[in-house]
Amino acid sequence: MNLIKLRDAEAKFLAQYPGGFSDPEMLEIAKKHKPEKMNKLTQESLAPKKFKDPDQIIASMVKIVSQSSMVSVFEKPRFRDLAQSLYSDEKERLVLGLKEMLHGNQGFGFELMCDLLGEYKLAKWTLLTICLLYYRPETEVFIKPTTTKWIIQHYELEGLQYSPRPTYEFYRGYRDQINHMKAQLGPSLQVNNAAFTAFLYFTYADDQGIFPNGLPRK
């Protein structure tokens, strides 16, 4: 990790938003993503006691993915259609994977879900990490390919080799480094990891003269 770049990004961000993520402008931006609503929805609908009803868990997953502002509009209907077409044994595998990922052996659950979704060409980083993020927003991470690759490159994160095919080894390594980076900064930036990774991405993009959608500034 390049601590100099990280501290420089913090200084630039706080110069523009003195309150950090509590700055009024940042709070207004956050409203568009409804983090509190999505966290509550996920934590309540995917609580351990809810896993007695696999069909309801599947329905909750579809609802979370569909309402998330961070999942691609192309992936949402594909996941919904897949969830509705799964056989009973496949639903049980998906639900078991999610239960283990959230409440048990996280690595086993992650790979179980990845294998099942991979059979339908839907083993996407976004679909595998969105529920994790919303369930534990302060510690888990959401992996969006472009953002993640840029963060790794710009902040010189070591030991991470990104691959389009999700693996728990990469997820765990990336999550640990993100949490370590967050711990190096002041309390105004130590909030949920969705906001923190957005800060890392946007400060890098601004430094490169790039808009968030990848277009150069005029």
DSSP 4: H
What's the mean pLDDT in 100-115? 97
**Band of residue 171 on the pLDDT scale cut at 50, 70, 90:** very high
pLDDT, tens digit (0-9, with 9 covering 90-100), for 69-94: 999 999 999 999 999 999 999 999 99
With 50 as the cut, is the pLDDT of residue 215 above it?
no
- Helix, strand, coil in percent for the chain, rounding step 5: 70, 0, 30
What local confidence, expressed as pLDDT, does residue 207 receive?
Answer: 62
- The DSSP output letter for 217 is P
pTM over 0.85? The answer is: yes
> What is the C-alpha separation between 214 and 36, in angstroms, rounded?
28
pLDDT at 109: 98
